[in-house]
Amino acid sequence: METFAGLSGFHWALLGAAVAVIGGGIGSAMGITYVANVASGILTEDPDKFGPLLPVVAIPGTQGIYGFITGVMVAFVMKPGVEGGWNALPGVCGFYIFLACLPVAFNCCISAIYQGLTSVGAAGMVAKRREEAGRALVLPALVETYAVLSLITTIILLIVAVKPAIDAALKA
Amino acid sequence: MLDRGYSPPKLEKGMKKTAPGYRRPSLRSLKSYSEPVRYGYAVGRIKVLESRLLTPHRLNRLIEADYSEALHILDEVELGDYLMGARVAGEVDVGLIRYLRDVYSLLEEMLPEDSCLVDFFLSRYDFHNLKVILKSRMDGKEEGLLPGLGRLEVEELREGIDEPKLLPPAYRAALEEIKEAQLSPQETDMVMDKHFFSYRLQLAEGEKNAFLKEYARTAIDFANLKTIVRGRKLGKGREFMQLVLVEGGKLGKDDLLELYEKPYDEMIKALGKARYPSTLMSFMEGADEIVRLTDFDRRVDDYLMELTRRARRISVGMEPIFGYVKAREVEVTVVRIILMGKLHNLSPADIEKMVRKLYVE
């Protein structure tokens, strides 16, 4: 089996998927913890604010989903459609998959943490003025932009760049 | 395995095997990430409670109203429940103390156990009560005790004065200094204040919070300035000032001692240039000392409130909680001034001159 830097293509692909899921998951868990702490304080004083607070608390969770989507894409879309399956994947092609997963892994981790911190401010707005819930959600949603862009980049890299490279390598 | 000539340190009896400090990751060193976890819950509650604070609009109505109308206006906020039916100054004070007690209990309930903020606020009452008890043993009068507000009960403090081992180290140090030097009631007052301010600075440094440190140091500066004015009035010498001035402020103790011996004009000029606005320094001039010091207290409170307000832009951390408790304390001060003014038939204009800045703009 052809390896790259000591790892097979399958190993590199697994590593890429794992890093994407771990990065997104850590970021989301931290982000949600920050805002959920504040939200629990607000709800102690004013339980009626559960509805408007829920989207603000949930929004840092999306990065974890992006990491999961990346992991699923690697598992189902990037699997070589030739005899031998993953074992046929050359080491260098697996490395390409790993590189393509990095935007989601890093960007989703960092952006979810900062989105959690931004959501804390937004939750404060909701606590004071319930009618501001819509506007409050826009501010952390701006941080989301960069997580979405990283997911789009990872998907484009996997489908447009890595997949054809794998097909070409397997044909050769 | 390669022998690199490294031998692990030998652990003596009682020593724990831990990583060196630089290898031990501390969540508190990552402050911006740990603050939402430590203070998030409390900040959430504060955000809701802040909307129930006394507003400047309501304050103006209070100033203009007569006494019974003022009580009706206070019914619109939480304070009203505590002042219901209060007719004389004593009843107003009892209601306000009950209210403050509830504010501090709430603070204690929502903060993490290792936070120093409760001590930062409550130690003031302990030092005050210690002062009252000590002075009462000197002159036989026990006036102005504030029971139930401090960290320790009055009885515990009484026992602590006889048996200092029962008290926390900072309180003990103050008592020991006073006992050793055999001070007069007035000097006891000043030395106790010195220990209180030092203790608060120590708490702020332990918490490693820049805002809290800034607040504690600024409060020390103002306390020192007030001490200087009182000291000059009483004709005290440099040695006495050495004993009562607090260290740790932004204005160095040595610089202050040097200025103490200089003429008034020179001192005011130097202090005005040093750090604080000259309007604050103007309290040193003028005829009536009591009026000047009362006015100075008001300006200091306003200055510290301005400092607290500036920290409001921090969305989560100790600062908004500190701001809320400070807001409640100022609320109590302001309502007391207004109600006492009404009971003594002062005009709204006179009351307005004494009123402090509120946290809410």
Read off the pLDDT of residues B146-163 as tens digits, 9 standing for 90 and up. Answer: 888 889 999 999 999 888
Task: Check A34 against B40: CB less than 8 A apart.
Answer: yes
Q: Is residue A24 part of a domain?
A: yes
Looking at chain A, the whole-number percentage of residues with pLDDT higher than 70 is 99
Q: In the structure encoding, which two tokens stand for residue A138, read together?
A: 């826009």
* CB-CB neighbors (< 8 A) of A119 in chain B: none
Task: Check B33 against A39: CB less than 8 A apart.
Answer: no
| pLDDT the model gives residue B12 | 52
| pLDDT the model gives residue A10 | 95
* CB-CB neighbors (< 8 A) of B46 in chain A: 41
Q: CB neighbours of B148 closer than 8 A, spacing ≥ 6? A: B97, B101
Mean pLDDT of B80-93: 89
- Decide if A119 contacts A34 (C-beta within 8 A): yes
Nearest Cα residue in chain A from B312 = A121
A100 pLDDT higher than 80: yes
Query: CA A153 from chain center: how many Å?
Result: 12
Nearest Cα residue in chain B from A116 = B36
Nearest CB among A38, A45, A128 relative to B40 is that of A38
Of the candidates B350, B361, B325, the residue with the CA atom closest to the CA atom of residue B43: B325
Q: CATH number, domain at A156?
A: 1.20.120.610
Task: Check B43 against A113: CB less than 8 A apart.
Answer: no
Grouping H, G, I as helix, E, B as strand and the rest as coil, residue B204 is helix
Mean pLDDT of A108-119: 95
| 3-class SS string, chain A | CCEECCEEHHHHHHHHHHHHHHHHHHHHHHHHHHHHHHHHHHHHHCHHHHHHHHHHHHHHHHHHHHHHHHHHHHHHCCCCCCCCHHHHCCHHHHHHHHHHHHHHHHHHHHHHHHHHHHHHHHHHHHHHCHHHHHHHHHHHHHHHHHHHHHHHHHHHHHHHHHHHHHHHHHHC
Nearest Cα residue in chain B from A114 = B33
ipTM here: 0.84
Mean pLDDT of B204-213: 90
User: B187-196, pLDDT tens digit by residue?
Assistant: 888 889 999 9
Task: Check B41 against A41: CB less than 8 A apart.
Answer: yes
A16 pLDDT higher than 90: yes
| pLDDT the model gives residue B259 | 82
User: B265-310, pLDDT tens digit by residue?
Assistant: 777 777 766 666 666 666 566 555 565 677 778 888 888 888 898 8
CA angle at residue A171 from A167 to A172, to 5 degrees?
120
Looking at chain B, the whole-number percentage of residues with pLDDT higher than 70 is 85
Q: Is residue A1 part of a domain?
A: no
* CB-CB neighbors (< 8 A) of A117 in chain B: 32, 36, 315-316
Q: Which helix (H) or strand (E) holds B273?
A: helix B264-274
Mean pLDDT of B63-76: 91
Range of the domain at A28: 7-171
DSSP assignment of B49-74: HHTTSPPHHHHHHHHHS-HHHHHHHH
Instruction: Say which range, A85-94, B66-75, B229-238, B329-338, has the weakest mean pLDDT.
Output: B229-238
Hey, what amino acid is at B255?
D
- What are the residues facing A7 on neighbouring strands? A4
Residue-range domains of chain B with CATH: 35-110+315-361 (1.10.132.50)
Q: Is residue A2 part of a domain?
A: no
Nearest CB among A113, A117, A124 relative to B47 is that of A124
* CB-CB neighbors (< 8 A) of A128 in chain B: 47-48, 50-51
B14 pLDDT higher than 60: no
| pLDDT the model gives residue B260 | 82
B355 pLDDT higher than 90: no
- Decide if B253 contacts B245 (C-beta within 8 A): yes
Nearest Cα residue in chain B from A121 = B315
Residue pointed to by tokens 């200089």 = B262
Task: Check A39 against B46: CB less than 8 A apart.
Answer: no
Mean pLDDT of B199-222: 92
Mean pLDDT of B189-214: 92
- CA separation for the pair A127, A38 (Å, rounded): 10
* CB-CB neighbors (< 8 A) of A26 in chain B: none
- Decide if A117 contacts A32 (C-beta within 8 A): no
Task: Check A37 against B32: CB less than 8 A apart.
Answer: no
Q: Which helix (H) or strand (E) holds B99?
A: helix B89-110
| pLDDT the model gives residue B29 | 53
B114-136 burial: b if 16+ Cβ within 10 Å, else e:
ebbbbbbbbbbbbbbbbbbbbbb
A41 pLDDT higher than 60: yes
**Torsion (CA) B118, B124, B125, B129 in degrees, nearest 10:** 140
Tell me the pLDDT band of A39, cut-offs 50, 70 and 90. very high
* CB-CB neighbors (< 8 A) of B50 in chain A: 128
* CB-CB neighbors (< 8 A) of B32 in chain A: 117
Shortest distance between the Cα of B281 and any Cα of chain A, in A, equals: 38
Shortest distance between the Cα of B361 and any Cα of chain A, in A, equals: 15
Task: Check A33 against B110: CB less than 8 A apart.
Answer: no
Tell me the pLDDT of chain B averaged across its residues.
Answer: 83
| pLDDT the model gives residue B288 | 59
How many domains does one find in chain A?
1
Beta pairing class for A7-8 and A3-4: antiparallel
Nearest Cα residue in chain A from B51 = A128
Shortest distance between the Cα of A167 and any Cα of chain B, in A, equals: 44
Mean pLDDT of B235-256: 87
Show which residues on chain B lie within 8 Å of chain A, measured between beta carbons. 32-33, 36-37, 40-51, 110, 315-316
Grouping H, G, I as helix, E, B as strand and the rest as coil, residue B254 is helix
Nearest CB among B33, B43, B50 relative to A128 is that of B50
* Rg of chain B taking only CA atoms, in angstroms: 23
- CA separation for the pair B282, B296 (Å, rounded): 9
Hey, what amino acid is at A11?
H
Show which residues on chain A lie within 8 Å of chain B, measured between beta carbons. 30, 33-46, 113, 116-117, 120-121, 123-124, 127-128
Shortest distance between the Cα of B123 and any Cα of chain A, in A, equals: 26
Tell me the pLDDT of chain A averaged across its residues.
Answer: 94
Q: Is residue A57 part of a domain?
A: yes
Q: Is residue A60 part of a domain?
A: yes
A90 pLDDT higher than 50: yes
Could you give phi then psi for residue A7, rounded to 5 degrees?
-115, 145
Of the candidates A54, A26, A23, A27, the residue with the CA atom closest to the CA atom of residue A39: A54
- Decide if A81 contacts A166 (C-beta within 8 A): no
